[in-house]
Structure 1
Amino acid sequence: MNLAEDKRQAIINAALKEFSINHYATASTNKIVSHANISKGILFHYFGSKKNLYLFLYEYTTNTFSEALNRQLDLTEPDIFKRYEQIMKVKIDLMKQYHALFDFLKKTYAETSFEVRDELNHYNATIQKSSYAMVFEGIDTGLFHEN
């Protein structure tokens, strides 16, 4: 985005707030631009549509969490339960640090709007596939009972 960082953050924060409170269909771009202190024309100039803004925000949020998780996760740990414990601790720390992002993500999981649901499902499937591959790589299966 060719936007000054302060305006970019203002838009992200305003959109997070609005989409965390309301479902996609009922969220107001008027409220977003008001809270971000920008014109509606600027919002649509950079994002094109409410849908593009929502999907940008979803990708931004999931990337923020994925990058943090990747930085903090010890993939040399061969015990799946210890690795899972690490993941949960990192998630708790991220929830504390990025509360607004988690509120938005929680709302997206319950989103039913046909306008964005397919894109969210597709994006989630892609993330899950790569995440599972990373999390399970190098696991010591000898720690499990046979069968």
Structure 2
Amino acid sequence: MTYEKFLNLKADKQEIILNAAYEVFSKYGYQQAPTDLICEKGGISKGALFHYFGNKENLFIYAFETTLNKLNDAIDLKSVTSYHVFDFLPYITMQKLKTLEKYPYMMSFLIRSIRDNKALLQEKGILDLLKHYESSQTFLYQKIDYSTLKNSISIEDFITWQTFVSTGFITMYPDHPNKEKLMKQLITFFDTVKENFSK
């Protein structure tokens, strides 16, 4: 499916509908997600939703594909000034957060979709796109210069800790009452990590 009818909408309307799908799918899961609620939050009729996507499954697949594409586009390696671990990890995190600011539930949607719907993604041939995204993430981590990391800290442990924090932040971000404060806390975290774990 090409989704031409949806893509002919104005960009801001596409964003509203996509955000509605991200929020409802992330909270209810694909199977239980009520299309009526997606329509309500997206400000469209049920007939319009099916006019754009045909059915709920196509909307889910579109949202998943779009998420991976947006995350891949979020990292601009041309603007990277340092690959040192304490510079690069905050940089790529903040780049992704620019996308999260626009689509608050996008990462929660991605995490739940991978966890709960692998069979459907496999059936639709989307896992190859996911593997490509995962490969790009591996590529990013391979470019990191860990020479300034304390010798007593293993790289594997350090990445695991960073992943824990990122996942926790993603979980908190969509419904947090003060996103600006949360962002400042994340920046403080990166500063603290650099202070305590650099040579």
Residue matched to 2:163: none
Question: Which of 84, 103, 106 in structure 1 is aligned with 2:108?
Answer: 103
Residue 12 of structure 1: CA displacement?
Answer: 0.9
With 1-10 and 28-37 compared, the bigger mean Cα shift is at 1-10
Residue 38 of structure 1: CA displacement?
Answer: 1.4
User: Alpha-carbon deviations, 1:39-71, whole Å to 9, x = none?
Assistant: 222111211221211121112222222212225
1:116 equivalent to 2:127? Answer: no
Residue matched to 1:87: 92
Give the TM-score normalised by the residue count of structure 2: 0.55
Give the TM-score normalised by the residue count of structure 1: 0.70
Residue matched to 1:65: 71
Residue 37 of structure 1: CA displacement?
Answer: 2.2
Residue 82 of structure 1: CA displacement?
Answer: 5.5
Contact 1:65 1:94 (C-alpha < 8 Å) held by counterparts: yes
Residue 103 of structure 1: CA displacement?
Answer: 1.9
SS of residue in 2 equivalent to 1:11 = helix
1:122-137 aligned at under 5 Å gives the runs 122-133=128-139, 136=142
CA distance in 2, matches of 1:38, 1:106: 26
Structure 1 unaligned blocks of 5 or more: none
Structure 2 unaligned blocks of 5 or more: 1-6, 148-199
CA distance in 2, matches of 1:93, 1:13: 15
1:8-47 aligned at under 5 Å gives the runs 8-47=14-53
SS of residue in 1 equivalent to 2:109 = helix
With 98-107 and 43-52 compared, the bigger mean Cα shift is at 98-107
Contact 2:19 2:104 (C-alpha < 8 Å) held by counterparts: no
CA distance in 1, matches of 2:32, 2:99: 28
Aligned residues: 142
Determine which structure has greater relative contact order: mean sequence separation of CA pairs < 8 Å that are 6+ residues apart, divided by chain length. 1
Share of identical aligned residues, percent?
29
CA distance in 1, matches of 2:52, 2:70: 20
RMSD of aligned Cα (Å):
3.3
Q: Which amino acid aligns with 1:101?
A: M
